[in-house]
Amino acid sequence: MVIKKLSLHNFRNYEDETFFFGEGLNVLTGKNAQGKTNCAEAVYYLCTGSSLRIRHDRQLIRHGETAASISAEALSRFGSVSLRADIYENRRELYVNGNKLTRAVDLLGNMNAVFFSPGELRLIQDGPDERRRFLNLSISQTSREYCTALLRYQKILDQRNNLLKNHDISLILETLPVWDEQLATYAARIVFRRRAFLKQLSPLACEAHSFLTDGAEILSVGAEEREETEEQIRERLIREFDNSRERDLRLGFTTVGPHRDDVKISIDGDEARGFASQGQARTAALSLKLAELAIFRDITGEAPVLILDDVMSELDLPRRKKLLSRIRDVQCILTCTHAERVLYGAECNKIRIQGGKIVP
Ligand SMILES: Nc1ncnc2c1ncn2[C@@H]1O[C@H](COP(=O)(O)OP(=O)(O)O)[C@@H](O)[C@H]1O
Ligand SMILES: [Mg+2]
C-alpha cells in the first residue's frame, strides 16, 4: 500500500499544505517544532481514526480555526482509495472514496499504519495499559469485529462499574448476572483475538529482535499456552466474574477481564519491564513494531505504511542500517532533524518543513 498524496487543511500548525509521497523512503526534515510529527500524526489518524498524542480531536484543529481536514489518496492492491477526515470541535466526519461513514470503525483497514516513535519505549517500560493499548490499536486495524467488541465491552464495563457503586445491594445482585453474560461475550472475543494475534506476533518479534541484535539477545513475548475456544473462554470468564463479585463490590469496580490483562515481555528470560536498559527497551519496542508490520503484511497481503517519528537519531549506526535494510520494500514516512546524519545516502524522497509549510 502506498500513500500518494496527503492534504492538510487547518490541521495543527498547517494552514493548507499538500504532501506527495514516493513508494519507498520519505524523509521529513526540519528543525524542532516545525510540523514533522504533526504530518506523521495526520497519516496515522487517517489510517486509524485516532491519534497517539491526544485525548480530544479538537486539539488537532489549528489555533483560531473551527475545523480541520485531512485527506489522502492511496493505492492499495485493490486499487485507489481516498480517505478524508473533517474534524470539528465536537464531532467529526469520515469519508472513504467520498462516501460518508456512519460508523467510525469502517475507516479501519482501508489504510494500515505502523507507528514508531521514542514514546513507544513505554510499551516495554510502563505498566500493562500500554501493552493493552498496543494490542487494541494493532488488532483493530485488521479486525473491525475486534474493534466493535472492544467498544461494546467498554460500554458494558462502564455500566457494570456504575452499578457496583450503587448502594442497593439487592438491585446489584439481581442485575449483575445479566451484565456479566453480555460482558463475557465481548470479553471472550477480545481475549480470543488477542491470543491469536500474540501467537503470530511472538515468533516474528523474536526473529526481528535477534536480527537487530545479531543474535545477542532473545526477546520473548508471552503468548498464552492454553488452547481454548471462544466459548470456553466465555464460560471461564463468567465463572471468574462470579468469583470476584464480592471483591468487585468492595472495591467498586470490575477487577477481572481483558481490561486488566497484561502481556509478558522478557529479554533473555528477564522481564523487560523494570529490567531492560533504555537501549534494550528501544530495540525490543522496535522489534514489536517490525513484527506488527509483518503481521499486517500477512493478513492484508501488502505492507502497511511505516511511520518512524524521530527514532533514527536514537538508534546506533548498525541498528539504523539494519532497520533501513529491513524496510526497503515498505513505504516509510520518517521524520528527523538531519537526514544526512541518519540515512547515509539511502535513496529517499526528502521533504523539508518549516513553520507548517513545505519548503520548496
Ligand atoms: N492545534 C494547533 N494549532 C497550531 N499549532 C499547533 C497546534 N498543535 C501543535 N501546534 C504547533 O506545532 C508545532 C509542533 O509540531 P511538531 O510536528 O510536533 O514538531 P516537530 O517538527 O518537532 O515534529 C508546535 O510549534 C506547536 O505549537
Ligand atoms: Mg517531532
Question: 208 CA to middle of ligand 2, Å?
Answer: 25
pLDDT (0 to 100) of residue 147: 96
The per-residue pLDDT for range 14-63, each reduced to its tens digit, is: 999 999 999 999 999 999 999 999 999 999 999 999 988 888 999 999 99
Average pLDDT, the chain: 95
Residue 340 has pLDDT above 80, yes or no: no
The sheet that has 265-267: what strands, in order across it? 219-221, 265-267, 270-271
Reading the block at residue 159, the C-alpha cell is 455500566
CA of 109 to the centre of ligand 2 (A): 26
Q: Measuring from atom 19 of ligand 1, which residue has the nearest CA? A: 33
Q: Position 127: which residue type?
A: G
In this prediction, residue 226 carries a pLDDT of 85
> Distance between CA 9 and CA 274 in Å, rounded?
42
Q: Could you tell me the pLDDT band of residue 11, with boundaries at 50, 70 and 90?
A: very high
pLDDT confidence of residue 347: 84
Mean pLDDT throughout 239-247?
95
Q: How confident is the model at residue 269 (pLDDT cuts 50, 70, 90)?
A: very high
Query: Are the CB atoms for 101 and 94 separated by under 8 Å?
Result: yes
Integer Cα distance of 333 and 69 in angstroms: 20
- Average pLDDT on 203-217 reads 97
Task: State the pLDDT at residue 83.
Answer: 98
Contacts of 311 (CB under 8 A, 6+ apart): 116, 117, 118, 282, 286
Q: Which of 27, 29, 38 to mutate to test the pocket of ligand 1 (most atoms within 8 A of CB)?
A: 38
Write down all domains in the chain, each with its CATH number in brackets. 1-112+304-360 (3.40.50.300), 127-301 (1.20.1050.90)
pLDDT at 53: 82
Instruction: Give the integer Cα–Cα distance in Å for 18 and 70.
Output: 10
Cell numbers at 250, concatenated: 468492595
46: cell is 487517517
Closest CA to 19 of 355, 312, 350: 350
**Binding pocket residue ranges, ligand 1, CB within 6 Å:** 12-13, 30, 32-38, 59, 61-63, 335
Q: What is the pLDDT of residue 214?
A: 96
Mean pLDDT score, 264-292:
95
* Predicted local confidence at residue 68, as pLDDT: 98
Which pLDDT band holds residue 277 (cuts at 50, 70, 90)?
very high
- Report pLDDT for 148: 96
| DSSP secondary structure code for residue 61 in this structure | B
Does position 345 have pLDDT exceeding 80, yes or no? no
Under the banding of pLDDT at 50, 70 and 90, the label for residue 217 is: very high
Residue 143 has pLDDT above 80, yes or no: yes
- The set of residues, in sequence order, having a beta carbon less than 8 Å from that of 360 and lying 6+ positions away, is none
Helix axes 144-164, 169-212, angle to 10 degrees: 140
Please state the φ and ψ torsions of residue 11, each to the nearest 5 degrees. -100, 120
pLDDT higher than 90, residue 346:
no
Question: What secondary structure does DSSP assign to 37-71, as a single string?
Answer: HHHHHHHHHHHHS--SS-S-GGGGBPTT-SEEEEE
For residue 246, the model assigns a pLDDT of 93
What are the C-alpha distances in Å from 214 to residues 8, 20, 268, 283, 318?
A: 41, 36, 14, 12, 10
| Distance of alpha carbon 315 from alpha carbon 282, whole angstroms | 8
> Vertex 58, ends 57 and 60: CA angle to 5°?
75
pLDDT of residue 93 exceeding 80: yes
What is the predicted pLDDT for the residue at 204? 97
305-319 confidence digits (pLDDT tens): 999 999 998 898 889
Give me Rg for the CA atoms of the chain. Answer: 22
210 pLDDT more than 90: yes
C-alpha cell at 129: 495499559
Ligand 1 centroid–CA 284 distance in Å is 29
Mean pLDDT of 330-354: 87
Q: What is the mean pLDDT of residues 232-255?
A: 96
Residue 153: what pLDDT?
98
Cell of 313: 537519531
Tell me, what's the pLDDT at 317?
87
Taking the mean position of all CA atoms in its chain, how far away is CA 284?
A: 16
